[in-house]
Amino acid sequence: MHNMKKIVIKAKNLTKRFGEIVAINDISFVVRQGETVALLGGNGAGKTTTISILLGLLTPTSGTLSVLGADMSRKRHQVLPRMNFSSPYVDLPKRLTARENLMVYAKLYGIVRPSRQISILAEDLEIETFLDRPFGELSSGQKTRVSLAKSLLNDPALLLLDEPTASLDPDTADWVRSYLEEFQNRTGATIVLASHNMSEVERLCNYVLMMKGGRIFDHDSPDGLLKKYGRINLEDVFLDIARGKSNALTETNGD
C-alpha cells in the first residue's frame, strides 16, 4: 500500500476493550484513495468493531484514527457526509417503504435534489418495481439492493460494507459485486469491506487485512498472500491462518 495516492484512512495503534475483552488490539493500517480493502477474518476477529470505529459509531479505547483528513475523535461530523455504509445486520425501518427510507436518508445526507437522486439509483440498482413497498416485506436480495442504494445516496468518497453479499443467492451476489466494481470505476471511491466470502475478496479487493483475535495477522494483495502462503485460493490462506498453520509471516501490523 505504498504509493502516492492520497491517504483516506490512517489508523494508528487502535485498541478497543469491552471490560476484560479486547475486541481489537493495537492495530494500524493505511488505506489510500481508490483502493478496495478487505477486512478478512473469522467470527470475533474484530472486523465489525473496526468498521464501527471507522464510522464513528464506536469510540476506541486508545489509538488515533484519521478519515478523509479528519480526526475521528473530534471532527467526525466534518466527514460523515462523505462516507456511507451498508450492512445486512443493520436494518432500515421495516414499516417505511423503500422510497420513504431513501428520502429520509437523502435529507439526512443533505442531498439537494433527493427525488432525482433516488430515481437515478432506483434505475441503476433495478429497485423501481418495489420502491413503494414496505422495506420489511422485501426479500433479502431486494433489501440488500435498497440498503446499497441508501449507502450510495451521497456518492460517498469512502464506502464501508459489512458482508455486502451475505445471505444472497449467487446470481444476486454476483450482480451486487458487478455493481460495486462499476461504481468504483466510475467514481474512484475508496471501499472497505468486511467479508467471509473469499471469492468476493479475490474479485473486488486489491488489498487484504487478515484479522485474527483482534489483531492484523497479515496483510498484502490477494496475489501476494497466495504466494506467501503457497496456496491457490484465499480460502486456503484463511484456513491456514484460522487453524494456526501459518508458515508465512509472524503477526504484523498493516502500516
Partner 1 sequence: MDISYSPRFSIHRVWAMVLRYFYLLRGSIPRIVELAYWPTMQMLIWGFMSEFLMNHSEWFVKAGGILIGAVLLWDIMFRSNIGVSLSFLEEMWSRNLGHLFASPLRPYEWALSLLVISALRTLIGILPAALLAIPLYHYSIFQMGLPLIAFFVNLLVFGAAIGLAVSGLVLRCGLGAESLAWAVIFAVAPFSGIYYPIETLPDWVQPIAYALPSSHVFEGMRAVTLEHIFLIDRFIWAVVLNVFYLALGLSVFLIAFKGARHRGQLLQMGE
Name the residues that contact partner 1, by CB under 8 A: 16, 18, 23, 48-49, 52, 55-59, 77-78, 80-85, 87, 89-97, 100, 103-105, 107-113, 117, 134, 150, 154-155
Query: Counting Cβ atoms within 10 Å, is residue 42 exposed (0-12), middle (13-18) or buried (19+)?
Result: middle
CB nearer to partner 1: give 27 or 234.
27
End-to-end CA distance of the chain: 8
> Which DSSP symbol is given to 141?
H
CB nearer to partner 1: give 99 or 219.
99
Q: How far is the CB of 218 from partner 1 (least distance, A)?
A: 26
Three-state secondary structure call for residue 184: helix
Residue 129 grid cell? 418495481
CB nearer to partner 1: give 110 or 244.
110
Q: How far is the CB of 133 from partner 1 (least distance, A)?
A: 11
Q: How far is the CB of 232 from partner 1 (least distance, A)?
A: 36
Q: How far is the CB of 59 from partner 1 (least distance, A)?
A: 5
The answer for residues whose C-beta is within 8 angstroms of residue 49's C-beta and 6 or more apart is: 16, 23, 24, 58, 214
Which amino acid is it at 229? Y
CB nearer to partner 1: give 185 or 233.
185
